[in-house]
């Protein structure tokens, strides 16, 4: 490991910089140390950041048996739960992944298309012409409703309202760089009563857990084979031994889907709206493409539009929501790109730096959707959803939702950025989110072509 260099600053100073200035820290380290460098972020072991596609390929294609990854995510165990797919390794991880994958593929996923468009229409109906609105808040409302209805099959009632409010509150525990310290610094995780940050989080989560378990029990007592929401499908799923998921497993996977499928999609969509309206030529090309297609009979046509796909792909490239893929902790010494790593090294594929390599993406700071029309990138050059056996199972759903929401809004309303405001990346928990603010305004209504069945 002597051959892997990194900053000489104290470990705690590195953690603070990682929390408050992650992009600057990574770019500075890559410039100083090249394709690999080490940072001290969690515990005593360094995280070795790699951003060369060949190194990432060797990590992603190696046998999963060579690594643990779940235990490298213990930092979010308090939020997701110990039985979350994200925290599991080995056969347990493989079992849960098999049980959770079917609802996110093929016709099952497409059945949520009308739901996504309907919810989008409902939310944007509150946007007033000429009145700037809080973009991220509005988009979060869309993504949260989509998740609650698609995952839980809930769209009204006291439990729905309370779950909706509690999810927003629980996720806000790390909603700014300062609050993110609660997640990254275990010493701050002290329950000093309901008014202390961690104490408030624990009480909110306990109430949310009570509601989730009540919903699970109610479903068990009243099975309904006609339901298509993901919770119902999870409860009906059986492993190779014919065993169902336990209540605890279902609860933890629900939390994982709520966190991974709500916050991340909201941030991605907010960025997309910014870039589309920040760059007039992008908006012009996208509207021209959308105006040529009549999606009233087949929403799946939207998923195939090349320029819209380029806009979504470039949005996820320039500011990927996850800065890094899940660390892989090698169980035995391993060689990656001619470098020997001892056991227990935290090998960390860096999504952000890979997406900003000049040799892959000329002028990487520029937003250019055409990149993804002109070239097909490998899964080791473009990896917004991670990769290997840890790639996000909700990838197809997230992209489908992005495209449907953008299309629905753009075909319904003309929007503009207020006073050319600049939106900047900021840390939100473990992710990179756009800064808040009322920087977008609806200027006029347009004719809408998206058909929504209510």
Decide if 312 contacts 319 (C-beta within 8 A). Answer: no
Span 11-445: which CATH code? 1.10.630.10
Decide if 109 contacts 397 (C-beta within 8 A). Answer: yes
pLDDT of residue 106: 67
pLDDT of residue 102: 78
Residue 183 DSSP code: H
Assign residue 81 a region: left if phi > 0, alpha if psi is -120 to 50, beta otherwise?
A: left
How do residues 2-31 score in pLDDT, each as one tens digit? 589 999 999 999 999 999 999 999 999 999
Residue 443 DSSP code: E
Per-residue pLDDT of the chain (454 residues; tens, 9 = 90+): 558 999 999 999 999 999 999 999 999 999 999 999 999 988 778 899 999 999 999 999 999 999 999 988 888 888 888 999 999 999 999 999 988 887 777 677 777 888 999 999 999 999 999 999 999 999 999 999 998 888 888 778 888 889 888 888 887 776 677 777 887 887 888 888 888 888 888 999 999 999 999 999 998 888 888 888 888 888 888 888 899 899 999 999 988 888 888 888 999 999 999 999 999 999 999 999 999 887 666 788 898 899 999 999 999 999 999 999 999 999 999 999 989 999 999 999 999 999 999 999 999 999 999 999 999 999 999 999 999 999 998 898 899 999 999 999 999 999 999 988 889 998 887 788 888 889 999 999 886 554 444 3
Q: For residues 422 and 228, what is the distance between their CA atoms, to the nearest angstrom?
A: 41
Q: For residues 317 and 181, what is the distance between their CA atoms, to the nearest angstrom?
A: 26
Cα–Cα distances (Å) from 241 to 202, 256, 302, 439, in that order, read 35, 24, 40, 53
pLDDT of residue 454: 33
pLDDT of residue 453: 41
The dihedrals phi and psi of 48, each to the nearest 5 degrees, come to: -95, 110
SS3 category, 244: coil
SS3 category, 411: helix
Q: For residues 317 and 275, what is the distance between their CA atoms, to the nearest angstrom?
A: 12
pLDDT of residue 154: 79
Q: What angle do CA 155, 160, 161 make, to 5 degrees?
A: 110
Decide if 303 contacts 400 (C-beta within 8 A). Answer: yes
Helix H or strand E segment including 433: strand 431-434
The dihedrals phi and psi of 331, each to the nearest 5 degrees, come to: -80, -25
Token code pair at residue 259: 């966190």
Cα–Cα distances (Å) from 432 to 89, 104, 200, 414, in that order, read 26, 24, 24, 27
Q: Is 423 exposed, middle or buried (0-12, 13-18, 19+ CB in 10 A)?
A: buried
pLDDT of residue 451: 46
Token code pair at residue 310: 């380029």
**Closest CA relative to residue 265, chosen from 64, 399, 123, 427:** 399
Q: For residues 427 and 410, what is the distance between their CA atoms, to the nearest angstrom?
A: 28
């Amino acid at each position: 490991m002597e051959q892997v260099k990194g900053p000489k600053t104290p470990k705690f100073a590195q953690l603070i910089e990682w929390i408050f200035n992650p992009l600057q820290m990574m770019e500075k380290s890559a410039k100083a140390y090249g394709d690999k460098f080490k940072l001290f972020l969690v515990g005593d072991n360094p995280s070795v950041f790699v951003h060369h596609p060949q190194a990432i390929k060797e990590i992603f294609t190696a046998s999963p048996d060579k690594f643990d990854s779940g235990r490298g995510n213990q930092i979010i165990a308090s939020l997701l739960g110990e039985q979350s797919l994200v925290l599991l390794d080995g056969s347990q991880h493989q079992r849960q992944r098999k049980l959770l994958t079917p609802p996110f593929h093929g016709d099952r996923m497409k059945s949520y298309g009308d739901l996504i468009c309907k919810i989008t229409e409902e939310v944007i109906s509150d946007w007033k012409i000429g009145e700037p609105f809080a973009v991220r808040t509005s988009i979060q409302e869309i993504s949260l409703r989509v998740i609650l209805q698609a995952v839980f099959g809930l769209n009204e009632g006291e439990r729905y309202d309370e779950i909706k409010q509690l999810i927003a509150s629980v996720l806000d525990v790390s909603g700014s760089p300062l609050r993110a310290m609660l997640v990254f610094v275990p010493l701050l995780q002290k329950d000093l009563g309901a008014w202390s940050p961690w104490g408030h989080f624990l009480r909110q989560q306990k109430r949310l857990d009570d509601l989730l378990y009540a919903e699970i029990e109610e479903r068990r007592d009243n099975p309904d084979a006609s339901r298509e929401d993901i919770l119902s499908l999870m409860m009906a799923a059986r492993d190779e031994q014919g065993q169902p998921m336990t209540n605890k497993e279902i609860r933890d996977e629900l939390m994982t889907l709520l966190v991974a499928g709500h916050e991340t999609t909201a941030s991605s969509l907010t960025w997309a709206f910014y870039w589309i309206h920040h760059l007039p030529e992008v908006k012009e090309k996208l509207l021209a493409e959308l105006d040529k297609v009549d999606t009233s009979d087949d929403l799946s046509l939207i998923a195939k539009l090349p320029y819209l796909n380029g806009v979504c792909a470039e949005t996820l490239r320039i500011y990927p929501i996850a800065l890094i893929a899940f660390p892989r902790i090698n169980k035995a010494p391993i060689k990656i790109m001619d470098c020997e790593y001892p056991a227990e090294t935290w090998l960390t594929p860096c999504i952000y730096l890979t997406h900003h390599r000049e040799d892959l993406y000329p002028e990487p700071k520029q937003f250019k959707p055409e990149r993804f029309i002109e070239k097909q990138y490998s899964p080791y050059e473009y990896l917004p959803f991670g990769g290997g056996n840890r790639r996000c199972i909700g990838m197809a759903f997230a992209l489908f939702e992005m495209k449907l929401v953008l299309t629905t809004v753009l075909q319904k309303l003309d929007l503009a950025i207020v006073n050319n405001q600049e939106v900047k990346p900021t840390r939100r928990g473990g992710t990179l989110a756009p800064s808040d603010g009322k920087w977008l305004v609806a200027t006029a209504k347009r004719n809408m072509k998206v058909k929504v069945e209510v």
